[in-house]
Amino acid sequence: MLDLETTGKDPSAIVYEDLIHLPAQPATVSDVRTAGGTRVNQHAYLAHFDGRFWAMWSDGPGLPRKPPEEHWNVVPGHDRPFTRVSYATSVDGLQWSQVKDLSGSPRRNGFGWIARGFWVRDGQLLALASHFNAPGYPGVGLSLEAWRWNRDYERWEEVETVLDDAMNNFPPKRLPNRQWMMSRRDHDRGVSVMLGGTRTHADWEVRPVAEYEESGQKPEEPYWYILADGKNLVGLFRDNAESKRILRAFSTDNGETWSKLVATNFPDERSKFFALRTSRGYYALVSNSRPARRDPLTLAISQDGLVYTHLFYLVGGRHIDYPHMIEHDEHLFISFSGAKQTVEVLKVPLVAIDRLIGYADTSN
């Protein structure tokens, strides 16, 4: 999965300080670092809908691990009870509105909400969040819920349960057969996919992918995308075991069945990652690729979605994690969390990546 033009297939040969820095305009959506570790902002997601950028994230109490004056870029205890989902909007992706509440309080004492992303379905904007028995998502009571944006009243309205015993990682995408699919974890941390979403937003069938701790692997935070042939799928998985590598599997039947997970040579600091196929045709993968720590955030580029040949530096010098990314108007907009206390966005011009990888537009 890794074969860089500079250092080849050996991930240990990467010198992260020597990576080319991509030009990017930074923006801050929310910052709770002055709370001294008593507040958490994490799980940031982006969307562009109705002429606006939308950001959502998990916003809740933190458990301080240091004195307040030493907690500026130190990760607090997180995934705590009473965590909510917040959101903000922007016209340009750089200047953001004030922070507003999306989810309201958790339904049950001791539970919380985990932000799970935006889903544009039938011309409507849905927001997804999992209701979880805190701290941490494993345990009885897990469910995936949805809210719908009411344009007329400018507010979020809770709809209904999407699926019980479910936490997705990113919102649904269309399969080659035009069904929707999104990844799922259950309360026992088993990894599967949800197929359907066509008749209603709560119309799903579950297909297994892998069990947690199967064959010594601990697959977490699954993600998938369609390969360049427009037919086959690749699934990528964080490994909570000690491999410090991204796990990979394939499906040739629209997610109905999956190959066994195999550890690749792509390095990973056991953190969340995200990939998309750009309008140029090449794939971009944003992740914490340094195995030693979640610093920096990097962007890898692949022509076919299978082998990544370029790796660039995005932001670092501090704890950075849990990215999401969208493409809009010739730019990548990348959201992430800083020490789980900030929600930030980078605006990266695609033309800068084009030049660095030697991309040539042959459409004309």
pLDDT at residue 140 in the model: 86
| Domain membership flag for residue 363 | no
| Domain membership flag for residue 53 | yes
Q: Which residues pair with 205 in a beta bridge?
A: 195
> Are 16 and 313 in contact, with CB atoms under 8 Å apart?
yes
Q: What is the CATH number of the domain that holds 146?
A: 2.120.10.10
| Domain membership flag for residue 96 | yes
| Domain membership flag for residue 364 | no
CA distances from 318 to 105, 180, 205, 295, 352 (A): 31, 37, 41, 6, 24
pLDDT at residue 353 in the model: 98
Closest CA relative to residue 320, chosen from 117, 73, 94: 73
Model confidence at 113: pLDDT above 60: yes
User: pLDDT of 310-356, one tens digit each?
Assistant: 999 999 999 999 999 999 999 999 999 999 999 999 999 999 999 99
Residues 6+ apart with CB under 8 A from 122: none
| Domain membership flag for residue 256 | yes
pTM score > 0.75 for this model? yes
| Domain membership flag for residue 248 | yes
Quick one: pLDDT band at residue 47, thresholds 50, 70, 90?
very high
Closest CA relative to residue 74, chosen from 59, 83, 64: 64
pLDDT at residue 363 in the model: 64
How many folded domains does the chain comprise?
Answer: 1
Note if the bond before 349 is cis, omega within 30 degrees.
Answer: no
Count of Cβ atoms closer than 10 Å to residue 34 Cβ: 11
Residues 6+ apart with CB under 8 A from 232: 226, 250, 251, 252
Mean pLDDT of 104-133: 96
Please give the backbone phi and psi of residue 279, each rounded to the nearest 5 degrees, phi first: -65, -15
Quick one: pLDDT band at residue 362, thresholds 50, 70, 90?
low
Helix (H) or strand (E) holding 351: helix 350-357
| Domain membership flag for residue 2 | no
Q: How many angstroms separate the CA atoms of 120 and 127, rounded? A: 9
| Mean pLDDT over each residue of the chain, to the nearest integer | 96
| Domain membership flag for residue 170 | yes
Domain span at 176: 11-357
Helix/strand/coil for 159: strand
